[in-house]
Amino acid sequence: MNSNDPTSSLAARILSAAANQLYIDGEWVASSSGEQLESINPATGETIAHVANGNAADVDRAVAAARRALHGPWRDTTPYERQAIILKLADLVDQHFDALCLLDSMDMGAPLSRLRANSRKRALGRLRFYAGMATAIHGNTIGNSAPGKVFTYTMREPIGVVAGIIPWNAPMTSAIWKIGPVLATGCTMVLKPAEQASLSCLMLAELMAQAGVPPGVVNVVTGVGEITGAALAGHPDVNKVAFTGSHAVGQSIVRASAGNLKRVSLELGGKSPDIVFADADLDKAVPGAAMGVFGNTGQVCCAGTRLFVERKIYDEFVQRVAQFGQQLRVGNGQDPDVEIGPLVSKDQLERVLDYIDIGRREGARTISGGERMTEGNLANGYFVRPTVFGDIEDGMRIATEEIFGPVVCAIPFDTIDEVEQRANATAFGLGSGVWTRDINKAQRLSRSLHAGSVWVNCYNLMDPAVPFGGYGLSGYGREGGVEHLDEYLQTKAVWINAT
């Protein structure tokens, strides 16, 4: 880091001063637990910082601050004032973008090259989209059948205090996906980053203060999910939980929300089908399907991990995907030439390696990869070679359970009827892909696939204006698009008798 660069200086301050500091009511305060969590660089296994291990008492403080802010001056801010704050935050994120990316790369391993190429558009695009939406929230006038001169209209009001609980696979952009609609709608928030990767969220707290976000509007409480996250999910003064993570934790959040019937939106995991027909443009489909699994080291909720390939091209296509994976440069994400980084933690490494062993025991054939990488500078990191399995049966655990690593199950099919049925034979329904030159096949599967997103001749594209979310165990509610703001608003009907 260049110490003369104010953006990197701020990142360095977060690295050095994050220990035992929570952001509550506009101030950096000590955690009442007095405990710390290590932030470990997964590329080296080294501890790079410590963050506070918040507890239920800290959650109480943060929720109380958010409640005060909700009923304070923030309540009377105009849409244009909130828009100006979000745009100022977008400018600051743009100014400090490289430092935010560096923190994410050090914290969870993502290659800087990928973060700089993809995350700027997502981060800034989302903030500026929500800034625009802040001035587009409106109710309706409604005719009614009441006698006399009774006038009716609706108002859209903020739902209240939001608990934003985010994952570790994209800390900065996931945080913005929760912060943006909170600021646009006039809600307030307690943000709980993943314990494996909290640093960029702490830096965002600094930037929000600089942007003019009033004290208490967004609070950041770090800690483990079982304590801090659980306290938020069950808190009686939280009105909504916005959660991104595993389906098992999502189910626990639903149960915890029952006490005061919180609004809940869940963006959970997946076991997404990616379907390649023989008539596809294979030069585009090979890298598209490969990076649909290997991108972000497979730590993507909508990764196309069930790769269905039409039998007549199966051998050629799968071999090309395997070769593509073998050629990817794996290493420390801060190396500008690296394309695939480590898994986020030792626990995640062991989980992925366990699934690889399970696949072999189930009879799957390892076409490429399938082992930890320990040569040279990779020795102390959590690296797994991009892995392609063949000889897959639909009921295998590796074909039905989310692995969250760079592991793809390649499955042949013969007819569109067959692949349609097999693709939908899952409890998940987040993403899906179709590669074909035949518009009729594309249209048919776009209608019939049970998934919140269908990508045709592309994969995992995102845009702030386009809603994203899932079916089944992949959750409910949407992030992105006008539908996203609906998750943070409630409707009030007003009746005025003018006689």
Which pLDDT belongs to residue 282? 98
How far apart CA 131 and CA 72 sit, in angstroms, is 21
CB-based contacts of 467: which residues, under 8 Å, 6+ apart? 452, 478, 479, 480, 481, 482, 483, 484
Which pLDDT belongs to residue 366? 98
How many other C-beta atoms are found inside a 10 Å radius of the C-beta of residue 5? 14
Which pLDDT belongs to residue 8? 66
How far apart CA 321 and CA 341 sit, in angstroms, is 18
Residues 213/74, Cβ–Cβ less than 8 Å: no
Contacts 24+ apart (CB under 8 A), 398-401: 398/355, 398/358, 398/359, 398/362, 398/364, 399/271, 399/306, 400/271, 400/426, 401/271, 401/355
Q: Could you give the domains of the chain?
A: 6-268+475-494 (3.40.605.10), 273-463 (3.40.309.10)
Which pLDDT belongs to residue 13? 77
Which pLDDT belongs to residue 3? 44
Residues 288/435, Cβ–Cβ less than 8 Å: yes
Which pLDDT belongs to residue 498? 86
Q: In the 8-state DSSP scheme, what is residue 225?
A: I
Q: Where are the alpha helices (DSSP H) in 135-246?
A: 171-185, 199-211, 230-233
CB-based contacts of 39: which residues, under 8 Å, 6+ apart? 18, 47, 48, 49, 50, 51, 107, 197, 198, 199
| 3-state DSSP percent of the chain in helix, strand and coil, to 5 | 45, 20, 35
Residues 488/130, Cβ–Cβ less than 8 Å: no
Which pLDDT belongs to residue 19? 57
Which pLDDT belongs to residue 18? 59
**Residue 259 in tokens:** 């006490």
CB-based contacts of 444: which residues, under 8 Å, 6+ apart? 416, 420
- pLDDT, one tens digit for every residue, the chain (499 residues): 444 454 567 777 788 765 569 999 999 999 999 999 999 999 999 999 999 999 999 999 999 999 999 999 999 999 999 999 999 999 999 999 999 999 999 999 999 999 998 888 899 999 999 999 999 999 999 999 998 899 999 999 999 999 999 999 999 999 999 999 999 999 999 999 999 999 999 999 999 999 999 999 999 999 999 999 999 999 999 999 999 999 999 999 999 999 999 999 999 999 999 999 999 999 999 999 999 999 999 999 999 999 999 999 999 999 999 999 999 999 999 999 999 999 999 999 999 999 999 999 999 999 999 999 999 999 999 999 999 999 999 999 999 999 999 999 999 999 999 999 999 999 999 999 999 999 999 999 999 999 999 999 999 999 999 999 999 999 999 999 999 999 999 999 999 998 7
Residues 158/489, Cβ–Cβ less than 8 Å: yes
CB-based contacts of 123: which residues, under 8 Å, 6+ apart? 93, 97, 100, 172, 173, 176
Using the structure block, give the residue that is written with the tokens 């409910």: 476
Q: What is the DSSP string of 273-328?
A: EEEE-TTS-HHHHHHHHHHHHHGGGG--TT---EEEEEHHHHHHHHHHHHHHHHHS
CA-based max dimension of the chain: 84
Which pLDDT belongs to residue 12? 79
Which pLDDT belongs to residue 303? 98
Contacts 24+ apart (CB under 8 A), 102-106: 102/1, 102/8, 102/11, 102/334, 103/11, 103/14, 103/15, 103/172, 103/199, 103/200, 103/203, 104/170, 104/171, 104/172, 104/197, 104/199, 104/200, 105/333, 105/334, 105/341, 106/41, 106/48, 106/199, 106/334
As annotated, the active-site residues are: 267, 301
How far apart CA 97 and CA 218 sit, in angstroms, is 20
Q: Are strands 383-384 and 372-373 parallel, antiparallel or unpaired?
A: antiparallel
How many other C-beta atoms are found inside a 10 Å radius of the C-beta of residue 359? 24
How far apart CA 151 and CA 147 sit, in angstroms, is 10
